[in-house]
Amino acid sequence: MTTEKAARRPMVKAEQVHKSFGHVEVLKGIDLEVQPGEVMCVIGPSGSGKSTFLRCINHLEKIDSGRLWVDGHLVGYREKGGKLYELRDREVAEQRREIGMVFQRFNLFPHMTALENVMEAPVLVKKEPKDRVRERALALLDRVGLGDKVDSYPAQLSGGQQQRVAIARALAMQPKLMLFDEPTSALDPELVGEVLDVMKQLAEDGMTMIVVTHEMGFAREVGDSLVFMDGGVVVESGAPREVLANPRHPRTQDFLSKVL
């Protein structure tokens, strides 16, 4: 019974999430749910708030109103007696350990080798024994096809290779949710495929993923659901093939006619 209950609990749940930067309201009430094992792709024009929403999920941005849960836990706050309490930095950090994030600009640590990049957080944050982390890190780098690049510094790797190291680095924390913020947007066209292949493999292994992307092919093929955002709201969502083939909302139709 308990397993069934756990399976029904959404991995991510957003209720009326609002976020403003100064006077600009970037998110105007986002409602959505991501089930465990689901791959959700988020598309939309730039400035639509999709990256901001992604960053709210691991509390890199604070939301102004609404509620956001990851695996049943409120993000960034504790609710007690109908009152919200801000979490301490340490508690926020603890929440983030469970959520992997991959950035558009990779953000690898340039003063560390690929292997050191992957090993850093589990050793430093989770205090895991070094030799065990090394084993896992080597396996992860092998899995993303970089078994022969473990001692390379980021500057010696191509963009695609750097992004694959970044994915391995996030996976080393053994997260239950992976967030991808336009992971292929900064790559040369011929390097996009190798990163998408790794992500596809990850999806097939059952990882819960939220992917902000402009890769419609990936969304159609790998995504379980598709969300189209514009102007800080979810305009349309559904099965990727359905939304991409028969967009109902005129704004979706307009956007897709420009990118497809």
Partner 1 sequence: MTVDQDVQKGRPEPIRAVPVRHPGRWAGAAVVLVLGAMFVHFLLFNPAFNWSEQWKYIFSDAVLRAVRNTIWLTVVAMVGGVALGIVLALMRMSPNPLMRGAAFLYLWFFRGTPLYTQLLIWGAIGALIPTIGIGIPFGPEFHTWETQKLINVALAAALGLLLNEAAYMAEIVRAGILSVDPGQQEAAAALGMSRMQTMRRIVLPQAMRVIVPPTGNETISMLKNTSLVAAVPYAELTFTAQTIYANTYQIIPMLIMACLWYLFLSSLLMIGQYYLERYFSRGVGGNGGGNRVRLRALRGGGRR
Between residues 156 and 246, which has the closer beta carbon with respect to partner 1?
A: 156
Q: Does the footprint of partner 1 cover residue 41 (CB under 8 A)?
A: no
Q: Identify whether the C-beta of residue 43 lies closer than 8 Å to the C-beta of residue 219.
A: yes
State the binding string over 73-102 for partner 1 (x if CB under 8 A, else -): ----------------xx--xx-xx-xxx-
172: nearest Cα among 111, 122, 114: 122
Hey, is 14 helix, strand or coil?
strand
Q: Report the relative pairing of strands 99-102 and 233-238 from DSSP bridges.
A: unpaired
CB of 114 to partner 1, least distance (A): 11
CB of 206 to partner 1, least distance (A): 22
CB of 70 to partner 1, least distance (A): 13
Q: Which of 46, 65, 156, 246 binds partner 1 (CB under 8 A)?
A: 156
Q: Which of 6, 78, 84, 109 binds partner 1 (CB under 8 A)?
A: 109
| Rg value, the chain, Cα | 18
The tokens of 216 are what? 């419609």
Question: Applying CB under 8 A, which part among 14-22, 65-73, 135-143, 147-155 lies near partner 1?
Answer: 147-155
Q: Does the footprint of partner 1 cover residue 185 (CB under 8 A)?
A: no
The tokens of 248 are what? 């109902």
Q: Does the footprint of partner 1 cover residue 127 (CB under 8 A)?
A: no
Q: Identify whether the C-beta of residue 143 lies closer than 8 Å to the C-beta of residue 168.
A: yes
64: nearest Cα among 92, 28, 89: 28
Q: Which of 44, 76, 154, 183 binds partner 1 (CB under 8 A)?
A: 154
Q: What are phi and psi of 175, to 5 degrees?
A: -75, 160
CB of 47 to partner 1, least distance (A): 19
Q: Locate all alpha helices (DSSP H) within the chain, ordered by sequence.
A: 2-8, 50-57, 89-96, 114-124, 130-143, 159-171, 189-204, 216-222, 240-245, 250-259
CB of 97 to partner 1, least distance (A): 4
Sign of torsion, CA 116 121 127 133? negative
The tokens of 176 are what? 């239950």
Between residues 27 and 108, which has the closer beta carbon with respect to partner 1?
A: 108
CB of 147 to partner 1, least distance (A): 19
Q: Does the footprint of partner 1 cover residue 248 (CB under 8 A)?
A: no
Q: Which of 30, 39, 68, 108 binds partner 1 (CB under 8 A)?
A: 108
Between residues 35 and 107, which has the closer beta carbon with respect to partner 1?
A: 107
The DSSP 8-state label assigned to residue 84 in this structure reads E
Q: Does the footprint of partner 1 cover residue 164 (CB under 8 A)?
A: no
Interface contacts to partner 1, rule CB under 8 A: 58, 60, 89-90, 93-94, 96-97, 99-101, 103, 105, 107-113, 120-121, 124-125, 153-156, 169-170, 173
